[in-house]
């Protein structure tokens, strides 16, 4: 039997940030370690973000260099391509190889729907749309955004991180198969002692809220305000958030500090893939809210970042998004809906930390191991 050939899309160069890198790298790395003939191709049609310039850049040198270093560090040199919008410039593998890979690929995984024109990647195999932002994806489709529906229609298979298939999520006419973030477990194992601090890495808002049939679907800012007083309520447990700061930041950092949160800048503590991993590994665990849209829609979404905490043996306390039927709760992963429940969950982990640490590792292996997740993804995509 011929070796399976798979193309993965993503945003590693577009947003050269630690968490974003791992979101897409673990698909490529996981496939590679399974013996799949895998290539990474990034073609968003967007001008890249440069964190050192504080915004969108007119050039791509930094972004291409970052992508190249990431791939080389993981034995993936010679297996990537990146398109810069200006004059259709491609970087990475030669054009002839890139076109041949597209033509002969058995699967094209459009992760997060990042490819600007998926029709250009139609080869002999199947096109797979992986929805990593459930509820918001379905709302866009249900609202009748024809351009977006045309993109989704270009795919043969549709997978979603919204694993619960909640009736609160608008119907779109697609058959969404459940999937989740693959985690390459050996990349996250840690022998380090942790700090006595629960952390998270987050954006205050990622994009504007949306409405559909009178229902409002917002961002993390709406949910976080309900838990502003958590540090004083959960004391002496220490809580830290790595959240973007500076002139353009929307987070009320002064108010957060006043309320007892330790606020750090991700550009300082976890700017790229290695420091991001160390930041998670050095934490005692994670405490985090979810986007308001995930809470309202209850899609059964579980954070890519939280899965990495688990793989590092760090238990998580996360806001309920309907995941009760997706992964086991109560040990390693605890959920909350109110501030009282959040305090109780933190107290539970603090009181039985070793038990919850072991449970976190077991959950990561059983539910997020890249070989398990990707094997199911391939099976569903080729069925």
Residue range 253-282: mean pLDDT, rounded? 97
User: What confidence tens digit (pLDDT) does each residue in 216-230 have?
Assistant: 999 999 999 999 999
Residue 212 phi, psi (nearest 5): -150, 120
pLDDT tier for residue 249 given thresholds of 50, 70 and 90? low
Residues whose CB is less than 8 angstroms from the CB of residue 87 and which lie 6 or more positions away in sequence, other chains included:
none
Residue range 51-64: mean pLDDT, rounded? 95
Q: Which pLDDT does position 31 carry in this prediction?
A: 98
Secondary structure (3-state) at 140: helix
Q: Is 353 exposed, middle or buried (0-12, 13-18, 19+ CB in 10 A)?
A: middle
Q: What is the mean pLDDT of the chain?
A: 96
pLDDT tier for residue 247 given thresholds of 50, 70 and 90? low
What distance in Å separates the CA atoms of residue 173 and residue 111, rounded to the nearest whole number?
20
User: What confidence tens digit (pLDDT) does each residue in 128-140 have?
Assistant: 999 999 999 999 9
| Percent of the chain clearing pLDDT 70 (strictly above) | 99
Residue 262 has pLDDT above 60, yes or no: yes
What distance in Å separates the CA atoms of residue 42 and residue 255, rounded to the nearest whole number?
39
Q: Which pLDDT does position 165 carry in this prediction?
A: 83
Which residue would you say has higher pLDDT here, 209 or 346? 346
Beta bridge partners of 107: 6, 126
User: What confidence tens digit (pLDDT) does each residue in 103-128 have?
Assistant: 999 999 999 999 999 999 999 999 99
Residue range 338-348: mean pLDDT, rounded? 98
Residue 190 has pLDDT above 90, yes or no: no
Q: Which pLDDT does position 246 carry in this prediction?
A: 59
pTM check: above 0.85? yes
Residue range 86-103: mean pLDDT, rounded? 96
Secondary structure (3-state) at 258: helix
What distance in Å separates the CA atoms of residue 38 and residue 80, rounded to the nearest whole number?
9
Residue 261 has pLDDT above 60, yes or no: yes
């Amino acid at each position: 039997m011929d070796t399976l050939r798979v193309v993965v899309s993503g945003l590693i160069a577009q947003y050269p940030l630690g968490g974003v890198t791992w979101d897409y790298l673990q698909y490529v790395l996981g496939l590679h370690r399974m013996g799949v003939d895998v290539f990474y191709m990034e073609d968003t049609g967007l001008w890249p973000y440069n964190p050192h310039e504080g915004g969108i850049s007119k050039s791509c040198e930094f972004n291409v260099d970052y992508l190249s270093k990431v791939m080389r560090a993981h034995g993936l040199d010679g297996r990537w391509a990146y398109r810069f919008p200006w004059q259709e410039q491609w970087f990475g593998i030669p054009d002839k190889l890139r076109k041949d890979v597209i033509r002969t690929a058995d699967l094209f995984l459009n992760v997060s729907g990042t490819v600007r024109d998926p029709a250009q990647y139609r080869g002999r195999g199947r096109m797979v749309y992986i929805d990593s932002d459930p509820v918001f994806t379905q709302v866009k489709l249900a609202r009748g955004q024809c351009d977006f529906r045309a993109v989704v229609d270009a795919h043969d298979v549709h997978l979603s991180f919204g694993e619960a298939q909640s009736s609160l999520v608008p119907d779109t006419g697609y058959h969404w198969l459940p999937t989740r973030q693959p985690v390459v477990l050996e990349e996250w194992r840690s022998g380090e002692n942790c700090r006595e601090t629960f952390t998270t890495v987050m954006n205050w808002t990622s994009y504007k809220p949306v409405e559909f049939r009178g229902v409002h679907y917002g961002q993390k800012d709406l949910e976080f305000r309900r838990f502003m007083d958590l540090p004083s309520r959960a004391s002496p447990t220490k809580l830290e958030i790595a959240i973007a700061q500076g002139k353009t930041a929307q987070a009320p950092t002064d108010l957060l500090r006043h309320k007892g949160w330790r606020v750090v800048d991700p550009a300082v503590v976890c700017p790229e893939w290695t420091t991001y991993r160390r930041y998670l590994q050095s934490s005692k665990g994670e405490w985090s809210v979810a986007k308001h849209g995930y809470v309202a829609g209850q899609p059964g979404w579980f954070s890519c970042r939280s899965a990495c905490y688990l793989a590092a043996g760090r238990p998580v306390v996360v806001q309920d998004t309907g995941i009760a039927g997706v992964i086991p709760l109560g040990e390693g992963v605890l959920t909350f809906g109110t501030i009282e429940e959040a305090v109780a969950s933190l107290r539970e982990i603090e009181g039985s930390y070793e038990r919850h640490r072991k449970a976190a590792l077991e959950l990561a292996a059983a539910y997020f191991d890249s070989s398990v997740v990707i094997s199911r993804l391939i099976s569903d995509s080729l069925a």
